[in-house]
Structure 1
């Protein structure tokens, strides 16, 4: 029960912050070589990893499971986001307005499923 409260709290925190700070696919693609994109991606990845670790430490099933000793860099996370953007099945105009946050999460779940490491 405690994990549900932690996870729902994290989701509410992410939702409340989304109104103030989110990055669209358009911004990600147009400014991908800037420090601000690197900082955003690092924060996003850290937040997703923290939530995932909280699930695992509370004996809940994590959303994604990295292989042992895998250390992803900002460049790796940006490449994962780019792959995820290519997988989005909307038209280009709609895709440009999507946030990259759920795209990264969906792709991490797809690339690093739990139970196979």
Structure 2
């Protein structure tokens, strides 16, 4: 939960680097929250309005943590645009998000593992 809160605290911070753990824990908790909202909506019959509002609320933090994750492997945040390519773009981003960060400092900031 600490990683999820950390991403939300850095709501629109697109500079710096993000650990693999920070990114994937945010994604995992986000999936659990979405599942919980879906169950709640089906129980009370709101047909997606709460889920839509939640998705809108976490859109910017999701993009920001993804950009910082790309920075950690030494890539520009503009690589997110590759997701516009069907299937291939998503697979490339998945691989990028799974890679270990660059050791030592890079153009985007100091190595977070050494801090």
Do Structure 1 and Structure 2 share a fold, with TM-score over 0.5?
no
Q: Which has the higher contact order (CA 8 A, sep 6+)?
A: 1
